């Protein structure tokens, strides 16, 4: 190799080295751009899913979650997939469909024509069956005594009756009896820890819907003067499980004056207060999910009978829990 070739070779090597470092730089920049793009997509995705989950809470949240031990003990295992598939297809809580099946025919064990003329697995009136029947198992026949067909038809009917906006009214449409509605909601709440969600949270006392004292001014039952009641009282037997109305962090779990044994949960946008408990199922500092049992109904503090005092504070101001839950229309 002469000097010139050596120089050329060196130049060439240098050029290759330069090219390589250029390429490495470009690869680095491209990788950085790609990483930023991926991060951007992830962030966008998170925002979209946050928006979607917010929407789910407000409009299509009337689905039930995992089956409780009661559900596993009572509901024939071969029927579980039918209820869950019906929930997915029609947006109607599987637990409520199961509660109706339990109440109407004990999951098909007592199929007969009722005194009112109702037929099949879910006890449809013949005209309603004709209008809402479904071929759930896809065998080409709509058979009211077939579990798939009957459960899908019931879900179809509940959906058509506005279940998504107001489950109680839809169940009432199924059977015009508020006692029946309460029975169904009570059984359903036993089947799934995730009770029928409402506007911003879920009803904190599954199965017990009776507001014994409303939000606002009232004569105080003990102090005998008109005081502002900063929440709602819901009557229920001693020891009834109370569930968190919304996800959050337990900021208090202690005896707190007139509220007795009191749990406070700070959520993403408000403070939920649960008073007069007989016992706690959570401790301070713990994170809780909506539907999780946080304590039990009692009558501790200023209270005359077992009940739950449920308060909602937005920006430290008491807000009507019924408005926060959006149950004025009957959703609970
Ligand atoms: Zn109260």
pLDDT in tens, 116-174: 899 999 999 999 999 999 999 989 999 999 999 999 999 999 999 988 877 778 998 99
User: Is the entire prediction scored with pTM above 0.95?
Assistant: no
CATH number at residue 182: 1.10.530.10
What is the band of 21 on the pLDDT scale with cuts at 50, 70, 90?
A: low
Gap from CA of 322 to ligand 1 centroid (Å): 13
What's the chain's average pLDDT?
Answer: 80
Q: Do 152 and 91 share a structural domain?
A: yes
Measured distance CA(326)–CA(134) in Å, rounded:
32
Gap from CA of 275 to ligand 1 centroid (Å): 7
Q: What percent of the chain has pLDDT over 70?
A: 76
- Range of 118's domain? 69-191
pLDDT of 101: 96
30-44, 46-60, 302-316, range with the lowest pLDDT: 46-60
Give the start-end residues of each E strand in 201-286.
211-213, 216-219, 226-229, 232-235, 241-243, 248-255, 261-266, 271-280
What is the band of 198 on the pLDDT scale with cuts at 50, 70, 90?
A: low
Q: Do 77 and 118 share a structural domain?
A: yes
In a domain, 141, yes or no: yes
Return the structure tokens found at 186: 């009570």
Q: Do 180 and 217 share a structural domain?
A: no
Gap from CA of 185 to ligand 1 centroid (Å): 23
- Residues across the chain: 332
User: Does the structure show a pLDDT above 50 at 46?
Assistant: no
Gap from CA of 325 to ligand 1 centroid (Å): 16
Measured distance CA(204)–CA(114) in Å, rounded:
35
Arithmetic mean of pLDDT, 9-22: 47
Last residue of a domain, one of 16, 31, 59: 59
Counting the structural domains of the chain, the total is: 3
Gap from CA of 264 to ligand 1 centroid (Å): 14
What is the band of 31 on the pLDDT scale with cuts at 50, 70, 90?
A: low
């Amino acid at each position: 190799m002469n000097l010139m070739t050596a120089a050329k070779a060196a130049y060439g090597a240098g050029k290759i080295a330069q090219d390589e470092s250029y390429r490495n730089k470009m690869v680095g920049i491209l990788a950085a751009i790609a990483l930023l793009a991926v991060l951007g997509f992830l962030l966008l995705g998170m925002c979209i899913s946050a928006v979607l989950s917010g929407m789910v809470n407000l409009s299509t949240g009337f689905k039930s979650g995992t089956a409780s031990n009661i559900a596993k003990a009572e509901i024939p295992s071969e029927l579980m997939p039918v209820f869950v598939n019906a929930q997915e297809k029609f947006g109607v809580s599987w637990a409520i469909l199961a509660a109706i099946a339990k109440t109407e025919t004990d999951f098909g064990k007592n199929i007969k024509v009722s005194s009112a003329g109702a037929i099949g697995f879910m006890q449809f009136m013949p005209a309603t069956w004709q209008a809402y029947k479904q071929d759930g198992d896809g065998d080409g026949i709509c058979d009211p005594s077939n579990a798939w067909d009957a459960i899908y038809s019931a879900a179809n009917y509940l959906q058509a009756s506005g279940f998504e906006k107001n489950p109680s009214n839809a169940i009432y449409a199924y059977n015009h009896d508020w006692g029946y509605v309460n029975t169904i909601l009570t059984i359903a709440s036993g089947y799934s820890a995730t009770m029928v969600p409402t506007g911003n949270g879920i009803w904190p006392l599954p199965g017990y819907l009776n507001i014994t004292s409303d939000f606002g001014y009232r004569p105080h039952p003990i102090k005998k003067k008109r005081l502002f009641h900063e929440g709602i009282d819901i009557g229920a037997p001693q020891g009834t499980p109370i569930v968190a109305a919304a996800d959050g962090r337990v900021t208090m779990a202690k005896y707190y004056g007139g509220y007795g044994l009191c749990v406070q949960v700070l959520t993403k946008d408000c403070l939920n207060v649960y008073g007069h408990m007989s016992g706690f199922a959570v401790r301070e500092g713990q994170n809780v999910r909506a539907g999780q049992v946080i304590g039990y109904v009692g009558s501790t503090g200023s209270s005359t009978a077992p009940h739950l005092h449920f308060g909602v504070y937005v920006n430290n101001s008491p807000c009507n829990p019924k408005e926060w839950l959006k149950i004025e229309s009957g959703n609970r």
